[in-house]
Structure 1
């Protein structure tokens, strides 16, 4: 018996088999029909979808599952329920301190790095074309240089003796009478990490801003001059910013992810663990339990918390910049 697909008054599809008898068509069947209709598109997407599933979706699901277990790699995972999360937020004082340090770094380096990336990219678009590559290279190089290589420079700069570059100049200027231990004093560790992180923050978001700014149609600026725009800041506010909203959204997401994953800079500058855990971040705590203590269940719980923090901040950013 043949069946016909019709649409009822509320817009849902139904399969008509007998007069007066209607059976709803399942959502999965409708999806499968659409996939068969657009099979070429899905075939082209398949390599990315497979890699994304294997290296992103499955690890996330595995981490969530392991976070409810005690797992030390040698023995089989043993289900412990919410014990790992209770230990994290009730008994693990170092983790609570790591959350505070991470949020401090994120809420300072995130917005500042984001603003600096955009302003420097905008500055580069204002200079003649022949000089843009030089400025781009100067600002982008620190972000692609390894933290180990950069730490050699900054360790010399912040060294806690008279040979340290910063101490040498401060003593020479009479500001200090004796060397200051920038990398050992708990009051200066976080500011030093913030400073170095900002120096290395001109990454993918910076390039996205630069590409977006260079592709704003010149006709918009000409039309703006006709409509009464006279100053650069007016062009920036009324023309440039609305034209690069996609790049602003992408740069904000990348900056949030980068600011919450500060680990190498802290480790190379102040050691692991840092003095009194003053530079201890969530990722440092994760690295400690995953690759030093091999408590993978507890490390997975830390990873899930970090993932949820990133997800929440990204939702907040999409709510602000992703409306259009």
Structure 2
């Protein structure tokens, strides 16, 4: 080996006690983007739309929540005034918050487990019956005029189905104004929402059950799994965790963002605000009173509740199969 080669070799070795220079995180990210640039190009249209119509509105709503903005004048910064007014002065918001949390605590878990149980049962049927039953269970969530049926059922006159039946069998003497009586409004809305809840989450569970590798059940039988419940807990549920997470997000969003059922059945506003929810309260200030700063504060509180609920559910779902 010549002297020139020895000099080149010794120059590349760092001095004793010093580490060889490493690529920065930014440079590694840039290299990865260059390697997988075709994937990022394909993702670009969705990411642009997602940033424009999801991320940007959320950020702007949080900013506007600290202002007074009536859509006619420029926003004026008021600090925490909207939030102080929301929790300390707005009694209707507290009613809406209580109704929403109660509504979510009942309809969220019940509809989530109902979606999975029905999907699990339907998945055991033959392909033709599976397709037919999936349509039957999913149809209510896509029906356009579904509330008209429930208005007939809970109509407050003698021609209402519930009133007519109860009067006919002698339980009632006079018809009850179901949707105008404070004690009955919220339970009826919860019932209707549960009926409508077999939607996107239900289809996700059906799809997840179809993708479970059948050979895992054979391997599980060899490893000591003895019954269907053990198969469900140790094989089926861990194999469809993405669908379980997606269904949980859908159910949380649906249960916390309820508004159409309340407006269509109980009116806007409902009697003594018995069916008021956070979203209907938001619509009141945002689309009727045009107090956009206050409405943005309501939306921000709802956003925080949804994020917190999703974090809790994700932690619970990670334990599935353990």
Do the structures match in fold with TM over 0.5? yes
Once the 2 structures are TM-superposed, how far is the Cα of residue 39 of structure 1 from its aligned partner? 2.2
Larger Rg, first or second structure (1 or 2): 2
Bigger Cα displacement from structure 2, 233-242 vs 179-188:
233-242
Bigger Cα displacement from structure 2, 159-168 vs 100-109:
159-168
Per-residue CA deviations over 1:165-186 (Å, capped at 9, x if unaligned) read 0111122222222212211111
Per-residue CA deviations over 1:68-87 (Å, capped at 9, x if unaligned) read 11111111111111100100
Number of corresponding residues? 307
Alignment gaps of 5+ in structure 2: 1-11
Q: 1:300 aligns with which of 293, 296, 300?
A: 296
- State the distance in 2 between where 1:29 and 1:289 align: 48
- State the distance in 1 between where 2:78 and 2:26 align: 36
Q: 1:136 aligns with which of 134, 137, 140?
A: 134
State the TM-score, normalized to the length of structure 2.
0.89
Alignment of 1:274 with 2:270, yes or no, is: yes
Show the counterpart of 1:216: 212
Once the 2 structures are TM-superposed, how far is the Cα of residue 279 of structure 1 from its aligned partner? 0.2
Show the counterpart of 1:252: 248
Q: 2:171 aligns with which of 156, 175, 188?
A: 175
Bigger Cα displacement from structure 2, 285-294 vs 173-182:
173-182
Change (3 A) 1:130 1:176: same
Alignment gaps of 5+ in structure 1: 16-24
Change (3 A) 1:288 1:32: same
Per-residue CA deviations over 1:269-306 (Å, capped at 9, x if unaligned) read 00000000000000001111111111111111111111
* SS at structure 2 position matched to 1:183: helix
Once the 2 structures are TM-superposed, how far is the Cα of residue 13 of structure 1 from its aligned partner? 5.3
- State the distance in 1 between where 2:236 and 2:319 align: 18
After the TM superposition, which residues 36-75 of structure 1 pair with which residues of structure 2 at under 5 Å, given as runs?
36-75=34-73
Show the counterpart of 2:146: 150
Show the counterpart of 1:20: none
* SS at structure 1 position matched to 2:170: coil
Q: Deviating runs (4+, > 6 A) in structure 1?
A: 9-12
Once the 2 structures are TM-superposed, how far is the Cα of residue 189 of structure 1 from its aligned partner? 0.7
* SS at structure 1 position matched to 2:180: coil
Bigger Cα displacement from structure 2, 222-231 vs 313-322:
222-231
Change (3 A) 1:293 1:217: same
Once the 2 structures are TM-superposed, how far is the Cα of residue 57 of structure 1 from its aligned partner? 1.0
- State the distance in 1 between where 2:184 and 2:170 align: 20
Bigger Cα displacement from structure 2, 111-120 vs 122-131:
122-131
Change (3 A) 1:69 1:164: same
> What value does the CA root-mean-square deviation take over the aligned residues?
2.3
- State the distance in 1 between where 2:246 and 2:211 align: 16
Bigger Cα displacement from structure 2, 246-255 vs 173-182:
173-182
Once the 2 structures are TM-superposed, how far is the Cα of residue 227 of structure 1 from its aligned partner? 5.1
Looking at secondary structure, tell me which structure has more strand per residue: 1
- State the distance in 2 between where 1:321 and 1:10 align: 46
CA contact (8 A) 1:182 1:188 kept: yes
State the TM-score, normalized to the length of structure 1.
0.88
- State the distance in 2 between where 1:127 and 1:173 align: 39
Q: 1:290 aligns with which of 281, 286, 292?
A: 286
Show the counterpart of 1:108: 106
Q: 2:88 aligns with which of 82, 87, 90?
A: 90
